[in-house]
Amino acid sequence: MGEVIRVTVWNEGRHEKTMEECKAVYPDGMHTVIAGFLSAEPDIEAGTATLDEPDHGLTDDVLAATDVLTWWGHMAHHEVRDEIVDKVHARILDGMGLLCFHSAHYSKIFRKLVGASASLRWREVGEKERLWVVQPGHPIVQGVGDYIELPHTEMYGEFFDVPQPDNLIFVSWFAGGEVFRSGLCYYRGRGKVFYFRPGHETFPIFKNPQIQRVIINAVRWAAAPGSEAALGAGNVVPLEKLET
Which residues in this chain contact Zn ion in the complex, by CB under 5 A? Answer: 103, 154, 200
d(CA 222, CA 218): 6
Q: Smallest distance, Å, CB 103 to Zn ion?
A: 5
The least CB distance from residue 20 to Zn ion, in Å, is 16
Residue number with CB closer to Zn ion (103 or 212): 103
Element (H, E) at 114: helix 108-114
What are the CA-CA distances from residue 27 to residues 24, 58, 102, 179 (Å)?
Answer: 6, 23, 19, 31
List, in order, residues 6 or more apart from 54 with CB less than 8 Å away: none
Smallest separation (angstroms) from Zn ion to the CB of 154: 4
Which residue in 199, 194, 179 sits closest to 121, CA to CA? 179
105/213 with CB nearer Zn ion? 105
Closest residue by beta carbon to Zn ion: 200
Closest C-alpha among 100, 87, 89, 97 to residue 59: 87
Of 100, 150, 156, 98, nearest in space to 124 by CA: 156
Minimum CB distance to Zn ion smaller for 67 or for 154: 154
Nearer to Zn ion, 129 or 154 (CB): 154
Question: How near is the Cβ of 9 to Zn ion at its closest, in Å?
Answer: 18
How far apart CA 11 and CA 72 sit, in angstroms, is 5
Instruction: Tell me whether residue 81 or residue 123 sits nearer to Zn ion (CB atom).
Output: 123
Nearest approach, Cβ of residue 157 and Zn ion (Å): 13
Q: How far is the CB of 205 from Zn ion (least distance, A)?
A: 10
Instruction: Considering the complex, state which of residue 11 and residue 66 has its C-beta at the smaller distance from Zn ion.
Output: 11
Which H or E run includes 173? strand 167-174
